[in-house]
Amino acid sequence: MRKNRIMFAAGIAFAALGCVAGTVNQGEPSLKQIFKDDFHIGAALNYPQASGKDPKAEAIIAKHFSTITPENLLKWGNVHPQPDKYNFKPADDFVALGKKHKQFIVGHTLTWHQQTPNWVFESAPGKPATKEQLLKRQTEHIMAVAGRYKGQIHGWDVVNEALNDDGTLRNSKWYQITGEEYLANAFETARKADPKAELYYNDYNLWKPAKADGALKLVKSLQAKGLKVYGIGMQGHYGLENPTIQQIEESIIKFSKVGKVMFTEVDIDVLPNPSNRQGADIDATFEFDQKYNVYTKGLPEEVEQKLAKRYAELFALFHKHRDKITRVTFWGVTDADSWLNNWPIQGRTSYPMIFDRNYQPKPAFHAIVNAVKKK
């Protein structure tokens, strides 16, 4: 029965491709309406989208999404590139767009080991900062950024990717210089900056039991200190077959014991991966090789159906646990926007989203709709 529904959905989607490229089909169902009683549904936006320079994408964003996240605009290197310089204009535009469409606005991210300028970790060029210097900079940064958007940004990825896959703390510069103190300081400061904002821990590969246990331990330790951790963001960077639905479900249940669960960066990579690894460590990059860029002229129908089936199964799971999940966010709007076009190999043609390069819904879109309509 599920197979038949997906095949039917595929026919609808391929018919939709006959529409004028870049227009929103008024007859198609709205995702935010379908999930309005279940959880927020959203997307991560790049700067052209956030600043209103991509009206075709904005039409999708306005119709289908009840929440938005900035892909890069609020990462430290973008918003605070130099000690005495903040670049708030892109983030201001992003927040204004969310207000315009009455969306739940998420900030990403206040503390991360990537895309943070070297000066943050140095007392002088090439010389490490002291623990006191680094914690002071972290505090000032969070107060400035989260404080600016107090009451406007509704939830923050306070700390991003602090764990290794075995559940131990990542040996980042944050950890090397401050030990575990930067974690508590981040959540304590974020609460001071905006006491009403939801505060999250966010990471990838949280379907792996060891890493899930590490995240659980981390959040419990912060909560034991009296700190506010609203929930855990599970980045949904998945493949067509892995991880299994059971593995994802086990982590949902596990994390629901300490707070709410969010799926924060959902996409499905249909291309072969040179390392066969799972996750989203942006350091794991490879030289271009054509054998890992196999669908340059479009996605074969067989693979399109596999993608649709995978999305249907994921959203059936999310819907099943809608009492535990508060948000599901795609990491991008269309295939053209996805970071997977350039990771782990630059220059690939990737197809991980539910809207194609012509801003049209794919079979995966309709498979999601059908998967939950039948419930």
The verdict on whether 265 is a catalytic residue reads yes
The verdict on whether 161 is a catalytic residue reads yes
How far, in Å, CA of 113 to CA of 366, rounded? Answer: 37
**Terminal Cα distance for the chain, rounded:** 13
Q: Which of 28, 188, 198, 265 is catalytic?
A: 265
Structure token digits, residue 253: 């249940």
Q: How many CB atoms lie within 10 A of CB 287?
A: 8
How far, in Å, CA of 197 to CA of 121, rounded? Answer: 27
Helix boundaries (H) for 196-289 = 209-224, 245-255
What is the Cα 189 distance to its own chain's centre?
23
DSSP 25-82: -TTSPPHHHHTTTT-EEEEEE-HHHHTT--HHHHHHHHHH-SEEEESSTTSHHHH--B
CB 351 within 8 A of CB 332: no
What is the Cα 48 distance to its own chain's centre?
18
How far, in Å, CA of 292 to CA of 20, rounded? Answer: 31
CB 213 within 8 A of CB 223: no
φ and ψ of 21, to 5 deg: -60, 135
Q: 30-66 burial by CB neighbour count: b if 16+ within 10 A, else e?
A: bbbebbeebbbbbbbbbbebbbeebebbbebbbbbbb
Q: Which of 28, 58, 71, 161 is catalytic?
A: 161
Catalytic residue numbers, as ranges: 161, 265
